[in-house]
Structure 1
Amino acid sequence: MANSPSGDSVTERVVRVLETFDTDRTVQTVAQIGRRAHLPPSTAQRIVAELTASGLLERDDDGRVRLGLRLWELALRGSRALRLRQAALPHMERVQARVREHTQLAVLEQDEALFLERLSHPQAGANITRIAGRLPLHASSAGLVLLAHAPEAVRERVLAAPLRALTPETTTDAATLRGMLAGIRREGHVVAAGSIESVSTGVAVPVRDGARGEVIAALAVVLPRDAPTAGAVEELRRAAAGVSPAVSAPHP
């Protein structure tokens, strides 16, 4: 790919354009995209026009831009995330039927917990998680499980970085976190009270590839702060055990 005068490639600029969209910002003007992607107006206009012509972006009647259906279509073709979600969903539904709060599935992606699915009861308590949303590994219960079982290089990189406190109870001390992560590996689950929202407790367990045994995801529930957690841990463990054989099966 040809480089711009600033040295970034066409691919890098396209990725920056696409990354300006998130769950809170689904529709933008070309000018907003250009500013957020740090692109000159003419470059932003050209890239948006090319992505729109290919169906990766779409324009509404007012000329505003959103992600296109073709991007969604391509993302789902042969997606590892889609296969994992499909394998986990029936087991998540059984957990949700018993817990009746929030049940969610997350994977490790670029040093964050990326949430692939979330089931919620209409009267459930607070939960900031969104499908396709991200949370810090050191704060979320699913993230802590993923961090505990991440490759050592990933774990050290995360622990060496500044750790942001989302609430007064978020653990931000690297040494304390190391002890927590060792406990998660030993106990096979985590209970994180108040680390994302002070009114909630996150409970999570690892999901393993049934063939290789490596942790590929985390199943979690979000409960009211003072709710009992032992039953949720057992429900999650049963669900994770049910998911593992399905995600280890070969795919054509």
Structure 2
Amino acid sequence: MNSSHDGSGTNEERPRVRGHRPAHGEPLLDRAFRLLTCFGPDAPVLSLTALAARADLPKATALRIARRLVEHGALERTDSGHYAIGLRLLEIATVAPRGHGLRAIALPYLQDLSHATRQHVQLVVREGLEGVLIERLSAHDAQRVMYRVGGRMPLHATAPGLVLLAFAPAQVQEDFMVADHPADEDNLMGTAEALRSRLAAIRRDRFAVFSRPQWDTLMTGVSAPVLDRHHTTIAAISVITPSEQSQSAAHIPAVVAMARAITRAMATDH
């Protein structure tokens, strides 16, 4: 007689479950990426407990994945035993064509614009329905602004975001119109009709001007599109100034001229 009877009325052996991962669980790569995205400006270093909580993973699972990420250099251990983003990720990120490659070509022009304006100069690309800041040059005495390099920004509430949305494919614009956006107490989104009208004006003028409060100061951005050799908008550059200290219109010619200069450099780069 089989001594492994399980009381279910059959001597049939049940299938073995290997390890602790569900048969149709979340892929390891997804969980690893979820761990990496837990880090940010507010949390550059995390304990294992905090990392597991932020990623919504069991502590043992978070530890197992974190150890593998450390082995590959994607994470680093601090002297206190906590975790931080590893330099291997920076090394990989530098070869991103829309990141380092574009930045390398644009940087001399951004430096010229920064010297001329003595304000914040930004280089932004679109990823999905958000903008990603890939470079920012700031004068020592420039007013503090919200967005950091690598940070994401709304397309409808920033000057470079509006430029990127205005020159995005029509389907991207429609997807943006119907997407859920965070509640905005300043009503920066407005109506879909008003946004469509604004985007049409940006395509006509080939620049955008947008003002919004940042902390206690009203900041104004002026932005223009950067095109690749196929005449597709791949980025936007912008200058951000305190509205009460500078007439934003004075920066429009310089921003447009620099965007065109970067576009020409992109066309001739091999």
| Structure-2-length-normalised TM-score | 0.86
Q: Give CA deviations for 1:18-64 in whole Å, capped at 9, x if unaligned.
A: 11112221100111111111211111000000110111100011111
1:245, CA displacement in angstroms?
Answer: 2.7
2:165 and 2:173 in contact (8 A); partners too:
yes
Q: Give CA deviations for 1:55-95 in whole Å, capped at 9, x if unaligned.
A: 11000111110011111112213543101101111111111
Equivalent residue number for residue 101 of structure 2:
83
Q: Give CA deviations for 1:72-130 in whole Å, capped at 9, x if unaligned.
A: 11221354310110111111111111111111000001311100111111111231121
Q: Distance in 1 between matches of 2:254 and 2:83?
A: 42
SS at match of 1:194: strand
Matched, 1:234 2:253: yes
Q: Which ranges of structure 2 fall in alignment gaps of 5 or more residues?
A: 1-19
1:191 and 1:202 in contact (8 A); partners too:
yes
Equivalent residue number for residue 152 of structure 2:
134
Matched, 1:49 2:31: no
* Aligned alpha-carbon RMSD (Å): 2.0
SS at match of 2:89: helix
SS at match of 1:144: helix
Rate the CA distance shift 1:158–1:195 in 2: closer, same or farther, 3 A.
Answer: farther
SS at match of 1:245: helix
SS at match of 1:241: helix
Equivalent residue number for residue 5 of structure 2:
none
- Kindly tell me the number of residue pairs found equivalent between the two proteins: 249
1:4, CA displacement in angstroms?
Answer: 4.3
**Farther off after superposition, 219-228 or 76-85:** 76-85
Equivalent residue number for residue 165 of structure 2:
147
Q: Distance in 2 between matches of 1:203 and 1:169?
A: 20
Equivalent residue number for residue 95 of structure 1:
113
Equivalent residue number for residue 112 of structure 1:
130
Which structure 2 residues correspond to residues 1-252 of structure 1 after superposition, within 5 A? Answer: 4-5=21-22, 7-77=25-95, 79-164=97-182, 168=186, 170-194=188-212, 199-209=218-228, 211-226=229-244, 227-249=246-268, 251=270
Q: Give CA deviations for 1:115-149 in whole Å, capped at 9, x if unaligned.
A: 01111111112311211111111101110100111
Equivalent residue number for residue 7 of structure 2:
none
SS at match of 2:45: coil
Q: Which ranges of structure 1 fall in alignment gaps of 5 or more residues?
A: none
Identity %: 36
| Structure-1-length-normalised TM-score | 0.92
2:239 and 2:251 in contact (8 A); partners too:
yes
1:168, CA displacement in angstroms?
Answer: 2.0
